[in-house]
A and B are shown apart, each in its own frame.
Chain A
Amino acid sequence: RKEVEQDPGPFNVPEGATVAFNCTYSNSASQSFFWYRQDCRKEPKLLMSVYSSGNEDGRFTAQLNRASQYISLLIRDSKLSDSATYLCVVNVYNYGQNFVFGPGTRLSVLP
């Protein structure tokens, strides 16, 4: 079983749609959680950290459920510029405090 799993995608949605990404992690020693976006042939860029209480940044909302080992990202009112691959990233305490990356879910927002 992979340590971090994400929806396989791709997701093709019309502009203005709401889209939800799901992520599960297997290592209960995971401590910190992040969503990154990566445009084609570019580096990953931090979208947001994910906190236990849930957090929101404009159109983006992230949720964490430690009991279920599940993380989500919701994008409301999607824009063409949201088209990218979304990576779920987990910082694992007993892995040298290092990061495990999900395979990513590709999103295409269509006009």
Chain B
Amino acid sequence: DVKVTQSSRYLVKRTGEKVFLECVQDMDHENMFWYRQDPGLGLRLIYFSYDVKMKEKGDIPEGYSVSREKKERFSLILESASTNQTSMYLCASRLVAGSPLHFGNGTRLTVT
């Protein structure tokens, strides 16, 4: 079974803090993704990566950056956290284009 692990299940941060969300997958998947999920808005793509050191903006990249230095790890960075970034963050990976996504168990971030 594919395992996608997110470093924290719950996080509480203050406005203006720099926040790091870590994601690791153990199946040598090429592609990795970061989504956020909010009630009534569904899942929205923040950033994705096709391969090591590659990154592409998704639908809502503002206020976020990413890093993929190793194939198994994809980090999401909130440069200066704001209250509107309070959300459920979901990391996912897939083997190749056309294959399904496998999600981590999510990080519920609260910014106060």
Residues on A facing B (Cβ under 8 Å): 31-32, 34, 41-46, 49, 89, 91, 96-99, 101-104
Contacts and interface: CB of A to CB of B under 8 A. Distances in A.
A42 B106 contact: yes
A78 B93 CA distance: 30
Contacts of B97: 91, 97
A98 B100 contact: no
Residue of A31, A43, A49, A91 with highest tally of chain B CB at under 10 A: A43
Interface residues of B, number: 20
Interface string B76-112: 0000000000001010000001111111111010000
6 contacts: A31-B98, A41-B108, A96-B48, A96-B56, A98-B48, A99-B45
Interface string B25-45: 000000001000000001101
Given A43-B104, A98-B58, 18 more contacts: A31-B98, A32-B98, A34-B100, A34-B101, A41-B88, A41-B108, A42-B106, A43-B90, A43-B105, A46-B102, A89-B101, A91-B97, A96-B56, A97-B97, A97-B98, A101-B42, A101-B43, A103-B42
Contacts of A103: 42
Residue of A31, A49, A97, A104 with highest tally of chain B CB at under 10 A: A97
A101 B42 CA distance: 7
B98 A46 contact: no
Given A98-B45, A104-B42, A46 B101 contact: yes
